[in-house]
Structure 1
Amino acid sequence: MIIEELWLIKLLIAHLMTDFILQPRSWIEERKLKHFNSGKLYLHGVITALVAWLFIGWQYYLVAIILFATHTIIDGWKSYQKDSTPYFIIDQLLHLIVIFACWYFSFIEWKNTLMSWKEFNTNLPLWKLIAGFLFVTYPAGIIIGQFTDYQLSTSEAADACTRSYRRVTRIYRTK
């Protein structure tokens, strides 16, 4: 199991490196202007695939090809979208889904595919993790935004804190 986890971590590091460290801002700007006609889009896809391939091993050439194709398609699609948090999150989620799918399907035994699919679908900790990740990436931001839309002035906030403190200490003293 340690090898599989290490392999996944290497894929995630390759993604983070190539999407956030090795990709110059000028490539992103060119991609926004030229979309799928941008040479930098394909260069970024190649670099992403090569770094991942270097990290996980040469025998996983099919994973590198899949990463190149999907990364290029996802980033090409994103180039048509406006710069916004929801599109950034969707872009990153799509990349992560591909990475997790490559990882998962690289380590299952194909003769046991049906059993693996059943295990995947009944893996409660995994589904909790997915639900938690999805919640904290987008809905939590909306909820925080809703709570912070109405903010008290400094004096109102101080008065509210003082009243809350008095109530809590009054309740505590009566016990």
Structure 2
Amino acid sequence: MSTPVTEDEREVVARQLGRPPRALVAVAHRCPCGQPDVVQTAPRLEDGTPFPTLYYLTCPRASAAASRLESAGRMREWQDELATDPELAEAYRAAHEAYLAERDAHDVLPTRATAGGMPDRVKCLHALAGHALAAGPGVNPIGDRAVAEMGQWWAAGPCAVPARPDDEEPA
């Protein structure tokens, strides 16, 4: 469930990304440490450029975990499985349609661009994991697999915390 972004959360996301977030709409998921790990973005950037990634994985630890899965060849394995498992392929296609319907409810883009390669490819586990975390278990089967295999990225505690006035150095 998405919640409006507070200024502290906007700052946390900026620290996670190493830059100010673009087209930020809401916090779509929080990791067990309580910080945002997935944000919802607008279908267009502030300048009107289409931005098809509705859910963006912001936690650098979660992002690193997704990258490790990609490096280990999981995308290729799951892509091969999509070609041979009609049930998985149908569930993945349904995830694609749910994703597009949610994005289109905010703004219809000029193309039906998708995230993560859906519905026919497994292209970006970061996008698929972000969608799975935001939508909840059972919506995106490949994203659910990625999240399950990413491990406990939150175990070391928050990856970024908001700055506090008392943390600042005196002028």
TM-score, length basis structure 1: 0.25
**Normalized per residue, which structure has more strand?**
2
Q: Over alpha carbons, which structure has the higher Rg?
A: 1
**Normalized per residue, which structure has more helix?**
1
TM-score, length basis structure 2: 0.26
